[in-house]
Amino acid sequence: MNILLAPSLPWTDRAALPNEPGVYVIAKEGEVIYVGKTWGGEGLRGRIGDFHRSATTGMKGHAGGVTYFGKFGAIDPAPMSVSVHVPVIIRRDSDVLYPYIQYVERRLIWEHVERHGRLPRCNSE
């Protein structure tokens, strides 16, 4: 199964992301630094907002954002981008959507580990 990611958006355009469940890939200067998922709340846009707040302040709200702040300092949006995968042909009931989103996130992380021999820098598991 191919997992298609939407074209990367500059970090400054993240407000254009959908309020849909899905998987997101954050890159800094072209390097994937975080792969994450969301299936509730404010969708992808809201979860990326959580990452941004934590990456800017170091405050809790998004573990990857807190890790970013610890490794790189406050976020500089210039070299950042985000790509997303929004499931469109999957049933939206939670007993199908949740496992699918978890699978896609884990697979993208595994593919990164296969290529680079390690997790993305801001992922802890």
pLDDT digits over 75-86, tens only?
Answer: 898 899 999 999
Given this model, what pLDDT does residue 95 score?
Answer: 83
Does residue 89 surpass a pLDDT of 80?
no
Give the mean model confidence (pLDDT) for residues 85-102. Answer: 87
Q: Which amino acid is at 17?
A: L
Which candidate, 100, 98, 118, places its Cα nearest to that of 32? 118
Given this model, what pLDDT does residue 91 score?
Answer: 74
Does residue 45 surpass a pLDDT of 90?
yes
Given this model, what pLDDT does residue 7 score?
Answer: 97
Given this model, what pLDDT does residue 6 score?
Answer: 97
Give the CATH architecture of domain 9-116. 3-Layer(aba) Sandwich (3.40)
Task: Of 1-5, 25-29, 98-102, 110-114, give the lowest mean pLDDT range.
Answer: 1-5
Are 8 and 83 in contact, with CB atoms under 8 Å apart? yes
Give the mean model confidence (pLDDT) for residues 20-49. Answer: 96
- Residue 74 in tokens: 């406050």
Give the mean model confidence (pLDDT) for residues 102-120. Answer: 98
Given this model, what pLDDT does residue 40 score?
Answer: 81
Torsion of CA 125, 42, 87, 95, to 10 degrees: 80
